[in-house]
Amino acid sequence: TAATNGAQRMSATTALPKDFLWGGAVAAHQLEGGWDAGGKGPSVVDVLTAGAHGVPRRITADVDPGEFYPNQVAADFYHRFREDIALFAEMGLKCFRTSIAWTRIFPRGDEAEPNEEGLRFYDELFDELLAHGIEPVITLSHFEMPLHLAREYGGFRSREVVGLFERFARVCFERYHTKVKYWMTFNEINNQMDTNALFLWTNSGVTIAPGENPTEVMYRAGHHELLASARAVAIGHEIDPSLQIGAMISHVPIYPFSCDPADMMAAVVANRARFFFPDVHVRGEYPRYALKEFERNGWDVGILEGDAAILAAGKVDYVGFSYYMSVTVKADAAKEADAADVVTGGLPGAVPNPHIEATEWGWPIDPVGLRYTLNVLYDRYQVRLFIVENGFGAVDTIAADGAIHDPERITYLREHIEQMALAVTQDGVELLGYTPWGIIDLVSFTTGEMKKRYGMIYVDRDNEGNGTLERRRKDSFEWFRRVIASGGAHL
Ligand code: BGP
């Protein structure tokens, strides 16, 4: 009955740890705007045009004044963060996840000295959060490599960029370690495993030349990124041993379509694409299935003497991950080329799951998949986990009464929080917190749209850049406020 379900929910969620970090997540480039303010340089995302569903975002050579780039203004958080933080505080957030735009600190990426004005912006932002009792949770790079490094160095193809990232990380840890305890190195580092052009560009600043094998290039850039991450972890710990520095991965669990052993095996193999990066981050060494793959294909991924020691010395403290959906694979569908798109992660053999419905953007909705993911990641890594993204992207409209009713978002989040609580209370998973994605409306990463909204706070801006940027509370705002205030009891 509904009453029993309510009671079960209550006992599951009230047993969450007292210091559980309820929060909200964003990325600098999707929210801040002010893309050239305060001495900021252009980053790889600043040259992404607005796409739409089914219309991919284009990567332009430079910022072209004739093009519309949605990230340039985004939700204008750069100028409005005090107003927004007041709203976050009203909602009761305990933490706020965002990134430090690399190009505010190093506008080109290879300067000897950081940009003081950029550093001051994040001082002000973190101070404002802390004054409201909100703990900043920071990603060092959320697809925000300086454009100059991508253009002139080939991004993480170049080993020099490892050192440049180290310099950036060191400056951030030194400057903010008293204000920020929880850090992550690279956002969704494992996205690029499918070698989609957008993900290669935004993860690593890499474009593929004709005749190159994209997977080999991805692994080489990925190796440099893993080294950069390991060095950042070691530097951070050296500066302040109390810092908690995590990985950040996109976790889309891959289910076998059936109990046919061929489907089971197809799922095991496909899941390696999800696990490769976190395997190295957590264990500090390459998994044997990857070494076998390099050997089999005759790939040189640029591993030099001494790299093993660097990786081993930079193991992460926890694993942060995004969870939006699951994917299902079928062994005999593996050859169907049209199965490959952003949603399935370009996965060969991906097929629709008959037990699961999808959002308007075709993202499968699977709350149990979150409990499943928490268990799989915890079993595999035995480190604390942090759900740093989860949410429902949808079109929201302002009703005649001026309110924004978003019951589907509330349902999505409620069902996911229930499953999260079961993983903690029934399965014993150690979980630091939960920060739903896009707590305030922002630019969609994959499509570049504003109309694909995740927020509990509405921002008046459309896909073409029109609107007043005024903020309004959606129904989910009050709902989430009660969830947090009750420690998860009132869902
Ligand atoms: C993740 C990214 C975010 C984000 C989210 C939702 O991949 O870390 O930056 O935007 O997905 O995706 P989208 O905005 O395309 O709906």
pLDDT digits (tens, 9 = 90+) for 277-316: 999 999 999 999 999 999 999 999 999 999 999 999 999 9
Query: Which of 187, 252, 445 most suits a substitution to test ligand 1, by most atoms within 8 Å of the C-beta?
Result: 445
Nearest CA to ligand 1 atom 15: 446
pLDDT one-digit tens code per residue, 365-374 = 999 999 999 9
Average pLDDT over residues 154-161: 98
Query: Do 157 and 228 meet the contact criterion of CB atoms below 8 Å apart?
Result: no
Is the confidence at residue 244, as pLDDT, over 80? yes
For residue 188, give the ligand 1 atom closest to its CA.
8
Q: What pLDDT is recorded for position 10?
A: 52
Active-site residue flag, 389: yes
Query: Do 233 and 166 meet the contact criterion of CB atoms below 8 Å apart?
Result: no
For residue 391, give the ligand 1 atom closest to its CA.
6
The mean-pLDDT minimum among 30-44, 71-85, 334-348 falls in 334-348
CA of 155 to the centre of ligand 1 (A): 21
Q: What pLDDT is recorded for position 207?
A: 97
Q: Token pair of 144, please?
A: 């925000």
For residue 447, give the ligand 1 atom closest to its CA.
15
Q: What pLDDT is recorded for position 263?
A: 92
Contacts of 444 (CB under 8 A, 6+ apart): 30, 393, 450, 452
Q: Which residue has the tokens 């459309």?
A: 462
Nearest CA to ligand 1 atom 9: 445
How would residue 333 be classed by pLDDT, with cut points 50, 70 and 90? Answer: confident
CA of 389 to the centre of ligand 1 (A): 8
Beta bridge partners of 458: 472
For residue 187, give the ligand 1 atom closest to its CA.
8
Beta bridge partners of 186: 141
Q: What pLDDT is recorded for position 338?
A: 43
Nearest CA to ligand 1 atom 2: 445
pLDDT one-digit tens code per residue, 4-20 = 555 555 556 667 989 99
CA of 465 to the centre of ligand 1 (A): 19
Nearest CA to ligand 1 atom 14: 444
Nearest CA to ligand 1 atom 4: 445
Query: Which of 437, 452, 459 most suits a substitution to test ligand 1, by most atoms within 8 Å of the C-beta?
Result: 437
CA of 454 to the centre of ligand 1 (A): 10
Handedness of CA 102, 229, 184, 195 (dihedral sign): positive
Give the C-alpha separation, 287 to 298, whole Å. Answer: 17
Is the confidence at residue 336, as pLDDT, over 70? no
Give the C-alpha separation, 473 to 30, whole Å. Answer: 19
Judged on CB neighbours under 10 Å (0-12, 13-18, 19+), 307 is middle
For residue 361, give the ligand 1 atom closest to its CA.
16
Give the C-alpha separation, 245 to 383, whole Å. Answer: 12
Nearest CA to ligand 1 atom 11: 445
Q: What pLDDT is recorded for position 5?
A: 58
Give the C-alpha separation, 391 to 436, whole Å. Answer: 6
Is the confidence at residue 216, as pLDDT, over 90? yes
For residue 250, give the ligand 1 atom closest to its CA.
7
What share of the chain in percent tops pLDDT 90?
A: 88
DSSP 220-254: HHHHHHHHHHHHHHHHHHHH-TT-EEEEEEE---E
Q: What pLDDT is recorded for position 46?
A: 98
How would residue 28 be classed by pLDDT, with cut points 50, 70 and 90? Answer: very high
| From 389, 408, 430, 478, active-site residue | 389
What share of the chain in percent tops pLDDT 70?
A: 94
CA of 444 to the centre of ligand 1 (A): 6
The overall average pLDDT reported for the chain is 94
CA of 30 to the centre of ligand 1 (A): 9
Nearest CA to ligand 1 atom 12: 445
How would residue 341 be classed by pLDDT, with cut points 50, 70 and 90? Answer: very low
Contacts of 209 (CB under 8 A, 6+ apart): none
CATH class of 2-328+366-485: alpha beta
How would residue 189 be classed by pLDDT, with cut points 50, 70 and 90? Answer: very high
User: Domain segments of the chain: what residues?
Assistant: 2-328+366-485
The mean-pLDDT minimum among 49-53, 65-69, 421-425 falls in 49-53
pLDDT one-digit tens code per residue, 123-135 = 999 999 999 999 9
CA of 341 to the centre of ligand 1 (A): 15
Is the confidence at residue 393, as pLDDT, over 90? yes
Q: Which residue has the tokens 């996109």?
A: 250
For residue 446, give the ligand 1 atom closest to its CA.
15
Query: Which of 446, 449, 452, 453 most suits a substitution to test ligand 1, by most atoms within 8 Å of the C-beta?
Result: 446
Q: What pLDDT is recorded for position 317?
A: 98
Average pLDDT over residues 326-333: 88
Q: What pLDDT is recorded for position 345?
A: 45
Judged on CB neighbours under 10 Å (0-12, 13-18, 19+), 298 is exposed
Give the C-alpha separation, 292 to 280, whole Å. Answer: 15
Is the confidence at residue 174, as pLDDT, over 80? yes
CA of 78 to the centre of ligand 1 (A): 20
Instruction: List all residues whose CB is within 6 A of at least one atom of ligand 1.
Output: 27, 30, 187-188, 250, 322, 389, 393, 437, 444-447, 452
pLDDT one-digit tens code per residue, 451-482 = 999 999 999 999 999 999 999 999 999 999 99
Beta bridge partners of 21: 433
Nearest CA to ligand 1 atom 10: 445
Give the C-alpha separation, 430 to 51, whole Å. Answer: 38
Nearest CA to ligand 1 atom 3: 445
For residue 191, give the ligand 1 atom closest to its CA.
7
CA of 467 to the centre of ligand 1 (A): 22
Q: What pLDDT is recorded for position 62?
A: 96
CA of 445 to the centre of ligand 1 (A): 5
Query: Which of 32, 324, 344, 389 most suits a substitution to test ligand 1, by most atoms within 8 Å of the C-beta?
Result: 389
